[in-house]
Chain A
């Protein structure tokens, strides 16, 4: 399964985690493509609840702050 399909399949569950505002696909710290879990604040509890890997793809938590219309 592609990273896009994997992300799509799991995004609803990931977005139910408290503090998670979104999910996307970006470049990871090691340079490869990763699933990004977007959070307004990154807390210890949030890190503990986000799996580090889903279906073979790395998951990274990214702090994006509070996103509003501009």
Chain B
């Protein structure tokens, strides 16, 4: 009995090795390796009939998509048995290392709506906050530290969507070029962390903020005001203003910078923001622009007052 089982197992393993050689190109003695492009893997398991597993041990061949054998060229068809061992074709999809297909907030999307990942070629990533206009020109708005790399960026530098941390590459994912920024100052108080970039192709960007729609007009932050935003990391979140007229120190790459005339937000359900949400436009329930998100801690979110951003860059949301 044990001997019979051992022989069956040996047969199974040999059939599996031949499969690995024929379909996956793994070298095995006595077999010329080749590759079947449809086969993603090989294993041993119980045959499944009408979705119910049976007791029959079979050689499982994993494919991205299961199709009728007659639709395939003869050399790509999987035979019913290999070396006397029955086969079963299992649709598994295509296996990928690491992460799954990323959500819209973190992947390349054209036209890109506001609320998705964007960033200067030399940074990690941030959020495309809003499409804004100055006269007849249209710009992507975000933070200086997202689009201008904390004053190190030069006008014309490539802005990637998604940002570098999300896999954006200058050769294929450049969506805009740095147009201008409000310099961050180390020796006096800052009002805003803001920058704008010119889209390379106007139709590659959209004025709608994901989950929110277009911003229109503006409003002043007041304690208890209901606010919301869409950002690259925490996506759509709601919260309320907890403090205004805030002067505080914020940690940057080269140390702390002082900001004044800021406001603080607390999330309604958990965090209002996290790393990568920088640059998100904060709006009230009627989509009035209230602020530009740029900093935070595990307990709070800090934003520039919208009127200071609008004044510094002379921009308005595209509505």
Contact = CB atoms under 8 A, between A and B. Distances in A.
B223 interface: yes
Contacts of B246: 22-25, 36, 38
B264 A24 contact: yes
A21 interface: yes
B278 interface: yes
15 contacts: A4-B245, A7-B245, A22-B246, A24-B263, A25-B244, A27-B224, A62-B243, A65-B300, A66-B251, A67-B249, A67-B250, A68-B297, A69-B193, A70-B293, A70-B295
A23 B223 contact: no
B122 interface: no
B223 A70 contact: no
Contacts of A64: 264, 297, 299-300
Residue among A15, A40, A67, A69 with the highest chain B CB neighbour number at 10 A? A69
Nearest to A27: B223
Contacts of B145: 69
Contact of B300 (A7, A25, A67): A67
Contacts of B262: 24
Nearest to A66: B297
Contact of A15 (B126, B247, B251, B252): B247
Interface in B236-261: 242-252
Given A24-B264, A63-B299, A69 B247 contact: no
A26 B296 contact: no
Interface residue range, chain A: 20 to 34
B284 to A, nearest CB: 18
A69 B278 contact: yes
Interface of A: 4, 7-8, 11, 15, 21-27, 33, 36, 38, 40, 62-70
A65 B297 contact: yes
A67 B245 contact: no
A23 B247 contact: yes
Given A15-B247, A21-B248, A24-B264, A65 B223 contact: no
A67 B302 contact: yes
Interface stretch (B59-67, B152-160, B269-277): B269-277
A67 B276 CA distance: 14
B277 A70 contact: yes
Nearest to B296: A70
A51 B263 CA distance: 23
Contacts of A21: 248-249
A26 B242 contact: yes
Nearest to A22: B248
Contacts of B275: 70
Contact of A69 (B245, B252, B298, B299): B252
A33 B52 CA distance: 66
B181 interface: no
Contact of B298 (A22, A62, A65): A65
A66 B256 CA distance: 11
Interface string B293-315: 11111111110000000000000
